[in-house]
């Protein structure tokens, strides 16, 4: 974990085999608390907020550079942009929503995927070293945006009664168990789904950052005396965790967008 002025960092004097040392300082909630860096109009900006703004500029800037002046024979930036766009369009949206219904939602899903992915990637970027999505407010805000879109489309497409039938899984063929199914489906769709949508992303990135910080701090902690015997083991685990985090970061962005597309697809389906 970086010992910068924006976070409650660990004491760099803490090492093994040091007289009067303070012992190993395990990461905890303090690793997710940041001091304001600057203020604009009385509104304080801390490190995660600044990284989220930079992420927005990166994603918008990249796709602007890729598609502002598209060419028949694409350059490197356009080629990468097209590959990323097609991955989300064909691999997520069309597979989940179908081409006819999903086409209009492709830009939204592409923006959502790359925004989440880049915010995850900050975890392994030097100086940043923090996944923005490990702060619950960011996944919750994105999940809320998807939730509002989902609910709006549900009632716009089916009307109030039809929308309720869509959300409760109404099917008169279920007979006597229909009331129970409707209650379960209502709570699942209206309350549980948006909660788990946000928490799934948050929890994975939160836990991953804690593990990465723990082994990084442990490597530094062992850099003294006989601790040099153990430091390489901890450092190897840091490298393993970085490689694993790269995989998890992409998977979590993919899962978040797949679920988003699934929920919106459900709003477009005909109710029974």
pLDDT band of residue 39 (cuts 50, 70, 90) is confident
Q: Torsion angle of alpha carbons 118, 52, 105, 107, nearest 10°?
A: -70
For residue 203, which of 214, 191, 213, 211 has the smallest C-alpha distance? 211
Return the domain boundaries, the chain. 29-268
- Amino acid 72: pLDDT: 84
Q: Which of 53-67, 132-146, 153-167, 249-263 has the lowest mean pLDDT?
A: 153-167
List phi, psi (to 5°) of 244: -65, -40
Structure confidence at residue 22 as a pLDDT band (50, 70, 90):
low
Determine the Cα–Cα distance for residues 241 and 238; give it in Å rounded to an integer. Answer: 5
Residue 60 reports pLDDT greater than 90? yes
Report yes or no: 3 and 9 within 8 Å, Cβ to Cβ: yes
pLDDT at residue 143 above 90?
Answer: yes
The neighbouring-strand residues paired with 45 are: 38
- pLDDT for 9 equals 52
Q: Within a 10 A sphere around the Cβ of 57, how many other Cβ atoms?
A: 9
Which of 69-78, 79-88, 144-153, 249-258 shows the lowest per-residue confidence on average (mean pLDDT)?
Answer: 69-78
Do 51 and 119 meet the contact criterion of CB atoms below 8 Å apart? yes
pLDDT digits (tens, 9 = 90+) for 167-196: 888 888 878 888 898 999 899 988 999 999
Q: How many CB atoms lie within 10 A of CB 82?
A: 15
pLDDT at 5 exceeding the cut of 50: no
* pTM across the whole model: 0.87
The tens digit of pLDDT for each residue in 225-267 reads 666 677 788 889 889 999 999 999 999 999 999 999 999 998 8
């Amino acid at each position: 974990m970086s010992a910068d002025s924006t976070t409650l960092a660990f004491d760099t004097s803490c090492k093994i085999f040091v007289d009067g040392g303070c012992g190993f300082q395990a990461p905890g909630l303090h690793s997710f608390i940041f001091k304001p860096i600057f203020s604009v109009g009385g509104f304080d900006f801390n490190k995660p907020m600044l990284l989220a703004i930079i992420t927005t500029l990166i994603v918008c800037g990249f796709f602007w550079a890729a598609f502002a002046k598209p060419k028949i024979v694409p350059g490197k930036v356009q080629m990468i942009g097209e590959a990323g766009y097609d991955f989300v369009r064909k691999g997520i949206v069309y597979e989940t929503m179908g081409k006819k219904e999903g086409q209009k939602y492709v830009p939204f899903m592409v923006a959502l995927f790359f925004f989440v992915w880049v915010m995850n990637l900050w975890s392994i970027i030097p100086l940043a070293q923090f996944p923005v999505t490990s702060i619950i407010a960011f996944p919750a805000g994105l999940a809320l945006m998807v939730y509002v879109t989902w609910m709006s489309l549900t009632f716009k497409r089916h009307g109030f009664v039809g929308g309720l039938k869509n959300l409760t899984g109404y099917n008169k063929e279920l007979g006597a168990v229909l009331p129970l199914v409707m209650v379960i489906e209502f709570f699942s769709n209206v309350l549980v789904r948006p909660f788990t949508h946000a928490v799934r992303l948050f929890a994975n990135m939160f836990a991953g950052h804690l593990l990465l910080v723990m082994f990084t701090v442990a490597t530094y902690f062992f850099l003294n005396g006989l601790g040099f015997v153990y430091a390489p083991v901890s450092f190897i685990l840091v490298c393993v965790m970085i490689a694993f985090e790269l995989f998890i970061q992409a998977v979590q962005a993919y899962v978040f967008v797949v679920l988003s597309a699934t929920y919106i697809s459900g709003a477009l389906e005909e109710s029974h």
